[in-house]
Amino acid sequence: MTTTQDIVAKLWSLCHVLRDDGITYHEYVTELTFLMFLKMMKETEQESLLPKGYRWDNLTAKDGVDQLAFYRELLVHLGNESSGRVQAIFANANTSLRQPKNLAKIVTDIDKLDWYSAREEGLGDLYEGLLERNASEKKSGAGQYFTPRPLIESMVNCIKPQPGEIVQDPAVGTGGFMIQADRFIKAATDDLFTLKQKEQNFQRRVAQPL
């Protein structure tokens, strides 16, 4: 079975295609994340959150110059005409891709991936994996803002966040500390099952303000 790390490795290999289109290390993750999000919405059957006509299959149905033009239109449309988190994710979104063949290559290769583990573990782990790859590249200079997961886990284990506490990370980047704090509390409370309803609501809606 393909693991999340396998998917990350294959996605990172697509950065060669991005580089051929003049895209820099700083733009790799952003370019891939927009496409990954669209694909994951389909894989997790959440495309109802996206406007009709601006979904993964609408993108793959086109080719050549039409596909690239539609992709640019799609990014703008999702940033302006969507709602909630989708609009926030695509706010001011654009692509630096200039050659239709490169977009086609990336879309085709993403479509071929086995997304089973990603459906189980979520887009967050894929995004974190790409950031880690990016941070390991000295040319990217991204290592200065990426905190490795083992370090995050060690710090959260030392702090031991408790149910009922507000957890905040003023310098939040990828949200790694907040995600791990949430996992720590859920592991200690049987996925919040041992908490009273009021306490569960606090954990879900108040505990990690953003």
22 pLDDT above the threshold of 60: yes
In a domain, 127, yes or no: yes
Range of the domain at 199: 149-205
Place of tokens 């909630």: 84
Per-residue model confidence as pLDDT tens digits over 33-74: 898 889 888 888 889 999 999 999 999 999 999 999 999 999
Q: Which of 25, 47, 48 is nearest to 38 (CA)?
A: 47
Higher pLDDT, 45 or 14: 45
Q: Same domain, yes or no, for 11 and 76?
A: yes
pLDDT band at 122 (very low <50, low <70, confident <90, very high): low
Per residue in 134-168, pLDDT (tens digit) is 666 555 444 455 577 778 789 899 999 999 999 88
95 and 195 housed in the same domain: no
Which of 144, 172, 188 corresponds to the end of one domain? 144
Q: What are the C-alpha distances in Å from 53 to residues 11, 21, 57, 78, 188?
A: 25, 27, 9, 11, 43
Task: Name the pLDDT band for 111 (thresholds 50, 70, 90).
Answer: confident
The domain total for the chain is 2
Within-domain flag for 210: no
pLDDT at 95 over 80: yes
| Three-class secondary structure of residue 41 per DSSP | helix
CATH of residue 123's domain is 1.20.1260.30
Q: Which helix (H) or strand (E) holds 25?
A: helix 25-43
Claim to verify: residue 86 and residue 61 sit in the same structural domain: yes
**Does 112 map to a domain?**
yes
Distances (CA, A) of 91 to 59, 78, 83: 19, 8, 10
Residue 209 has pLDDT above 50, yes or no: yes
What pLDDT does residue 140 have? 46
- Give me the chain's average pLDDT, please: 81
Q: What is the pLDDT of residues 157-206, one digit of tens each?
A: 999 999 999 988 877 766 778 888 888 999 999 989 998 999 988 988 88
Instruction: Choose the final residue of a domain: 126, 144, 162.
Output: 144
Q: What is the DSSP letter of 83?
A: -
> Does a structural domain hold residue 17?
yes
Q: Are 126 and 157 part of one and the same domain? A: no
Considering the domain architecture, whether residues 55 and 109 belong to the same structural domain is answered as yes
Residue 131 reports pLDDT greater than 60 = yes
Nearest-angstrom CA–CA distance, 178 and 204: 12
